[in-house]
Amino acid sequence: LAKTEVSPTFKKPTADHPIRICWNENPLGMSPKGQAAAREMIGQGNLYPFMEMKTLQKMLADKHGVAPECVLLSAGATQGIVAAFGALATPDTQLVIPELTFSAGEEAAIDNSMKKITKVKMTKDWQIDLEAMKKAVADYDGPSIVYFVNPNNPTGAICKADAVEAWIKSKPAKTMFLMDEAYAEFASDPTFRSVSPLIKDGADNIVLLKTFSKLFAMAGMRVGWSVSTPAIIKKMGEKIANNNLTGASVSAAIASMKDDKFMELSRASNEAARKILLQTLDALKLDYVPSNTNFVFHKLNVPLADYQKRMKDAGIWVGRAFPPADEYCRCSLGTPEQMAYVAQVMLDLGKKGLI
According to CB under 6 A, which one of 6, 59, 163, 219 is a site residue for ligand PLP? 219
Candidate residues 114, 149, 206, 345; the one interacting with ligand PLP per rule CB under 6 A: 149
- The answer to whether residue 322 forms part of the interface with ligand PLP (CB under 6 A) is no
Nearest to 191 by CA among 133, 151, 148, 132: 151
CA dihedral 39, 40, 41, 46 (to 10 degrees): 110
Q: Is 240 in the site for ligand PLP (CB under 6 A)?
A: no
Q: Please report, for residues 81, 145, 178, 204, 290, the alpha-carbon distance to residue 229 in angstroms, rounded to integers and kept in the order given.
A: 15, 16, 13, 6, 33
Q: What is the dihedral of CA 331, 337, 340, 346, to 10 degrees?
A: -40
Q: Which residue is nearest to ligand PLP (CB)?
A: 76
Q: Per CB under 6 A, which region of 27-35, 76-84, 237-245, 307-315 contacts ligand PLP?
A: 76-84
What are the residues whose beta carbons fall under 8 Å from the beta carbon of 90, sequence distance 6 or more?
Answer: 114, 143
Which residue from 51, 79, 33, 58 is spatially nearest to 224, judged by alpha carbons? 79
Smaller CB distance to ligand PLP: residue 34 or 76? 76
Interaction between residue 297 and ligand PLP (CB under 6 A):
no
Asked if 28 touches ligand PLP (CB under 6 A), the answer is no
Shortest separation between residue 73's beta carbon and ligand PLP, angstroms: 11
CA distance 223 to 48: 16
Tell which positions 45-74 bind ligand PLP, by CB under 6 A: none
Which range, of 75-83, 195-203, 276-284, 335-343, touches ligand PLP by CB under 6 A? Answer: 75-83
Please report whether residue 153 would count as binding ligand PLP according to CB under 6 A. Answer: yes
**Does residue 143 have a cis peptide bond before it, meaning omega lies within 30 degrees of 0?**
no
Give least dist CB 102 to ligand PLP, A: 4
CB of 322 to ligand PLP, least distance (A): 12
- Report the site for ligand PLP in 172-201 (rule: CB under 6 A): 180, 182
Long-range contact set of residues 172-175: C-beta below 8 Å, sequence gap at least 24:
172/134, 172/137, 172/138, 172/144, 174/142, 174/143, 174/144, 175/137, 175/143, 175/144, 175/145, 175/146, 175/205
Of 223 and 355, the one with the shorter C-beta distance to ligand PLP is 223
319 binds ligand PLP (CB under 6 A): no
Binding interface with ligand PLP (CB under 6 A): 24, 76-78, 102, 149, 153, 180, 182, 211, 213, 219, 224
